[in-house]
């Protein structure tokens, strides 16, 4: 019955296709606490089933963890980590109960984490039609489990050795998490994933909202709100709308088209796979348009079923382990699109003060500067890339200011993006104003940071010498330093 409800809703989306100022809180990605283990049952030499108390969920949660063969709990090996996400109507047990995951990974140096996300949790902190509250799946998975796994097991805690894969609803989760937190996962894959929840507006959103009613007795609008009034919240979690954030992520998309005659069979046309196939095709086309490389495996006839997802995992996981073996460095230039009033990604922090919820974008951000798009007033804090105490000349759209790097090697830069818009994005009035204003609907500010001693990505900032160390205060080094500061001040005063 549940599978039928999903199939009916997605079929409606395929055939029919068609104001709050507060965003859901940005998920903290540096929190490693919030988890208390209640029970840990060994189901085999490698497979453990855990019950934990989660601060984010305000209650118990379950997960399975599959450890490497011969895992030594007292060891000091930084094992790579795979977050493996289940689909709708299943739970944390699905991958080990319905596929050959345990046997397939027996020879792999890999910790597999399979968290629960509810039958229809959609890997997000629920909006509950403005009431917020529970469940908070994203806060639990990203804000708690990612850090906790590194503490609980001898797991690698770096992006370069952490990947995420999911099927169906979990395919949405894998690409949504990777797009919203690209600094956490080096690779992401979706199998038959619901990766474009705005498929053919507005019927796609309406169809998925109806499924909320069928699955779990929740009111339509529980996950991201009613689509007609909260479209920006849907899009702020939707992989298709956040595709630009995946430019530095290894990606694989694998799907059938729902037609009969596939390698593993199927009973006629599978309307659910037909629907997600269109979503996956949309995602593929969006990535291609943005020039973002990815594997696109549209294998034709095939159903929304486990034999195909098991095949997909067999094809994807060895490639992703090769990516982990490369130990990829973080990029030096990043771009990121987001809706939250606070962003914390790749070491960049953006805090926005505005009256409504809408997209903003940090573009081409590097040690030399960045572009910020949005409205209202913003404060941008750079990664720790500068020498503490070093003064920098910063140009914001022709206005020059002098900013000194803090003790942590960061610059804090105020950016004026003009008056805030007054209507939440994608609502009728906002859409009309955006159509009339065109590119002027959002303000684009260009910020240039004058060249100076810059640190490489991941390189810790040098600590300033304590008083009395180094060159004597009356020596030539002090004279040069004072002269540079005075010269910088004079230059700043002379700028218009």
What's the pLDDT tens digit per position in 412-460? 999 999 999 999 999 999 999 999 999 999 999 999 999 655 555 555 6
Decide which of 300, 326, 352 is a domain's last residue.
326
Question: Residues 244, 379: one domain?
Answer: no
**How many domains does the chain fold into?**
2
Q: Which has more pLDDT, 481 or 70?
A: 70
- Output b/e per residue, 455-477; b: 16+ Cβ within 10 A: beeeeebeeeeeeeeeeeeeeee
pLDDT in tens, 374-426: 999 999 999 999 999 999 999 999 999 999 999 999 999 999 999 999 999 99
Using the Cα atoms of residue 62, residue 66, residue 71 and residue 76 in order, give the sign of their dihedral: negative
Pair 308, 191: CB distance under 8 Å: yes
pLDDT of res. 1: 36
Does the pLDDT at position 25 exceed 50?
no
The token pair at 398 is 């022709």
Decide which of 326, 348, 365 is a domain's last residue.
326
pLDDT of res. 460: 60
Position 199 confidence tier, pLDDT thresholds 50, 70, 90: confident
pLDDT in tens, 453-487: 555 555 565 444 333 333 233 333 332 232 322 22
Question: Residues 297, 344: one domain?
Answer: no
In angstroms, rounded to a whole number, what is the distance separating the alpha carbons of residues 265 and 308?
10
Question: Residues 318, 439: one domain?
Answer: no
The token pair at 196 is 């474009």
The token pair at 375 is 């409205």
User: Could you tell me if residue 383 is inside a domain?
Assistant: yes
Question: Residues 432, 301: one domain?
Answer: no
The token pair at 75 is 């060891």
Looking up residue 258, the CATH number of its domain turns out to be 3.40.50.1820
State pTM to two decimals. Answer: 0.86
pLDDT in tens, 331-356: 999 999 999 999 999 999 999 999 99
Question: Residues 263, 143: one domain?
Answer: yes
Does the pLDDT at position 323 exceed 90?
yes
Question: Residues 111, 18: one domain?
Answer: yes
Percent of the chain with pLDDT over 70: 80
Question: Residues 252, 394: one domain?
Answer: no
- Per the DSSP assignment, residues forming a β-bridge with 188 are 164, 251
Residue 239 structural domain: 2-326
Which of 184-193, 207-216, 441-450 has the lowest average pLDDT? 207-216
pLDDT of res. 457: 58
The angle at the Cα of 311, spanning 307 to 314, to the nearest 5 degrees, equals 140
Determine whether 347 is exposed, middle or buried from the number of CB atoms within 10 Å of its CB (0-12, 13-18, 19+).
middle
């Amino acid at each position: 019955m549940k599978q039928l409800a999903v199939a009916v809703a997605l079929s409606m989306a395929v055939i029919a296709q068609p104001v709050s100022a507060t965003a859901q809180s940005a998920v903290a990605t540096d929190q490693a606490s919030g988890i208390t283990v209640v029970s840990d049952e060994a189901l085999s030499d490698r497979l453990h089933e855990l019950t934990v108390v989660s601060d984010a969920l305000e209650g118990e949660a379950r997960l399975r963890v599959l450890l490497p063969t011969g895992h030594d709990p007292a060891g000091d090996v930084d094992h790579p980590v795979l977050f493996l996400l289940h689909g709708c109507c299943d739970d944390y047990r699905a991958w080990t109960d319905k596929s050959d995951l345990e046997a397939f990974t027996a020879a792999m140096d890999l910790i597999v984490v399979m968290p629960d996300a509810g039958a229809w949790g959609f890997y997000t902190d629920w909006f509950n039609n403005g009431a917020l509250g529970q469940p908070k799946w994203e806060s639990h998975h990203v804000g708690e489990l990612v850090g906790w796994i590194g503490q609980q097991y001898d797991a690698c805690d770096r992006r370069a050795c952490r990947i995420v894969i999911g099927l169906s609803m979990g395919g949405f989760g894998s690409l949504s998490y990777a797009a919203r937190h690209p600094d956490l996962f080096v690779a992401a894959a979706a199998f038959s994933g619901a990766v474009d929840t705005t498929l053919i507006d507005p019927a796609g959103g309406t169809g998925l909202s109806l499924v909320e009613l069928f699955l779990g007795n929740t009111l339509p609008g529980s996950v991201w709100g009613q689509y007609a009034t909260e479209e920006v919240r849907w899009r702020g979690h939707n992989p298709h709308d956040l595709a630009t954030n995946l430019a530095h992520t290894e990606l694989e998309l694998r799907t059938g088209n729902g037609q009969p005659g596939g390698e593993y069979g199927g009973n006629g046309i599978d309307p659910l796979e037909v629907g997600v196939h269109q979503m996956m095709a949309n995602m593929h086309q969006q990535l291609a348009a943005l020039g973002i490389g990815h594997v696109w495996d549209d294998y034709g006839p095939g159903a929304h079923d486990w034999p195909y997802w098991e095949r997909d995992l067999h094809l994807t996981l060895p490639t992703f382990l090769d990516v982990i073996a490369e130990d990829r460095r973080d990029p030096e230039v990043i771009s990121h699109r987001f809706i939250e009033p606070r962003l914390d990604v790749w070491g960049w922090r953006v805090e926005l003060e505005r009256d409504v919820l809408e997209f903003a974008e940090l573009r081409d951000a590097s040690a030399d500067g960045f572009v910020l798009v949005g409205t209202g007033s913003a404060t941008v804090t750079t990664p720790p890339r500068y020498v503490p105490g070093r003064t920098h000349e910063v140009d914001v759209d022709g206005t020059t200011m002098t900013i000194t790097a803090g003790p942590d090697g960061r610059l804090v830069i105020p950016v004026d993006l003009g008056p805030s818009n007054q209507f939440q994005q994608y609502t009728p009035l906002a859409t009309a104003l955006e159509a009339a204003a065109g590119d002027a609907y959002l303000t684009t500010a260009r910020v240039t940071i004058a060249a100076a001693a810059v640190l490489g990505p991941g390189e810790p900032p040098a600590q300033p010498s304590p008083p009395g160390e180094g060159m004597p205060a009356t020596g030539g080094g002090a004279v040069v330093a004072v002269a540079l500061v005075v010269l910088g001040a004079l230059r700043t005063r002379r700028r218009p």
